[in-house]
């Protein structure tokens, strides 16, 4: 049976209330649609721990800067519903913009901590306020037992964990590992923007992080290993926004490997496509 579709909060809530009355454990997988295997692995993580899985599909205007790709962001609703159904999902919550941000909407979650770590926030100043506001709303609207987010957007995951903790939001926040193609490229809805030549270069992003991890493990100073990764990527044609070694939980800068656990994070552009990735070190 195809997954049901809820366009408004009232239907979402009545469905969740009925499931809960029947004793079900409920998971939410928030997405902006354009599903790929990475999203489906989040659904699989959700299914493994829940009786009912909700997928939200909402391209959230509040997290795009005017210069970004809100209008052009890939949208594939019918395929997304089919893929979610095939993955055993139960309900797609796909609200219109006015359902999430009705006329007169005037609230924004204000963030510090990992949201101001000087990584994505430096290049996308209002992004995390938009993400946190919509995620808070989705968690409050759906009231799942837990919600699953990909580690691929590592700073986003840290921001959401911090917000859920600080605001006593009840759903547990579950992180799921990044899914990669065989050549190491992290799956992303934006990979469709890459030209064939850029697509061939893109796996170097992960390779540079891996080399950086190995260098640190073999005793090279963190700063030197990071600088090497940055230079490697620049030489391969990336416009590098940052390569950084940060504390895996706080995202605070590290002086030495002993200050870890370390997370290595990168953001770089190939042509007009901005790619992000990260690994544990
Ligand atoms: O990671 C995403 O797809 C989005 O940032 C999210 C968490 C669905 C919020 O719009």
Cβ within 8 Å of residue 22, ≥6 positions away: none
Residue with tokens 């989705």, as numbered in its chain: 138
CATH of the domain at 203: 3.30.1300.10
Report whether 233 contacts 204 (CB < 8 A): yes
Same domain for 234 and 137: no
Same domain for 144 and 20: yes
Q: Which structural domain, as residue segments, surrounds residue 58?
A: 4-176
Beta-bridge partners for 150 = 176
Q: Is residue 182 in a domain?
A: no
The number of distinct structural domains making up the chain is 2
CATH of the domain at 24: 3.40.50.620
The rounded Å distance from CA 62 to ligand 1 centre is 11
Same domain for 129 and 108: yes
pLDDT tens sequence across 55-95: 999 999 999 999 998 999 999 999 999 999 999 999 999 99
Cβ within 8 Å of residue 20, ≥6 positions away: 26
The residue from 126, 142, 176 where one domain ends is 176
State the pTM of this model: 0.97
**Is 60 a pocket residue for ligand 1 (Cβ < 6 Å)?**
yes
The rounded Å distance from CA 57 to ligand 1 centre is 9
Same domain for 245 and 208: yes
Same domain for 168 and 219: no
**Is 30 a pocket residue for ligand 1 (Cβ < 6 Å)?**
yes
What is the distance between the terminal CA atoms of the chain, rounded to a whole angstrom?
A: 43
Catalytic residues: 39
Same domain for 19 and 120: yes
Q: Where are the beta strands (DSSP E) in 7-89?
A: 26-31, 52-57
The rounded Å distance from CA 30 to ligand 1 centre is 6
Per residue, the 3-state secondary structure of 13-33, as one string, reads: HHHHHHHHHCCCCEEEEEECC
pLDDT tens sequence across 224-246: 999 999 999 999 999 999 999 99
CA–chain centroid gap for 56, Å, is 13
């Amino acid at each position: 049976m195809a997954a049901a579709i809820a366009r408004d909060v009232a239907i979402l809530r009545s469905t969740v209330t009925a499931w809960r009355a029947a004793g079900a454990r409920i998971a939410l997988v928030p997405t902006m649609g354009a599903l790929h295997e990475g999203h489906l692995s989040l659904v699989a993580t959700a299914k493994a721990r829940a009786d009912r899985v909700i997928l939200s599909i909402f391209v959230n205007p509040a997290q795009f800067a005017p210069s970004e790709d809100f209008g052009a962001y890939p949208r594939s609703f019918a395929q997304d519903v089919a893929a979610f159904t095939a993955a055993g999902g139960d309900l797609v919550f796909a609200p219109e913009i006015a359902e999430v941000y009705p006329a007169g909407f005037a609230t924004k979650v204000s963030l510090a901590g990992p949201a101001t770590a000087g990584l994505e926030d430096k290049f996308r100043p209002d992004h995390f306020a938009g993400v946190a506001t919509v995620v808070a709303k989705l968690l409050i609207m759906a009231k799942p037992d837990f919600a699953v987010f990909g580690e691929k957007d590592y700073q986003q995951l840290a921001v959401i964990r911090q917000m859920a903790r600080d605001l006593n939001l009840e759903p547990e926040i579950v992180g799921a590992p990044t899914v990669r193609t065989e050549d190491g490229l992290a799956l992303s809805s934006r990979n469709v923007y890459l030209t064939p030549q850029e697509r061939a270069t893109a796996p170097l992003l992960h390779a540079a992080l891996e080399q950086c991890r190995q260098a640190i493990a073999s005793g090279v100073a963190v700063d030197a290993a990071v600088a090497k990764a940055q230079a490697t990527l620049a030489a391969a044609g990336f416009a590098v926004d940052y390569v950084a070694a940060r504390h895996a939980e706080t995202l605070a800068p590290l002086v030495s490997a002993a200050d870890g656990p370390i997370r290595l994070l990168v953001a770089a552009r190939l042509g007009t496509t901005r790619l992000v990735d990260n690994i544990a070190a």
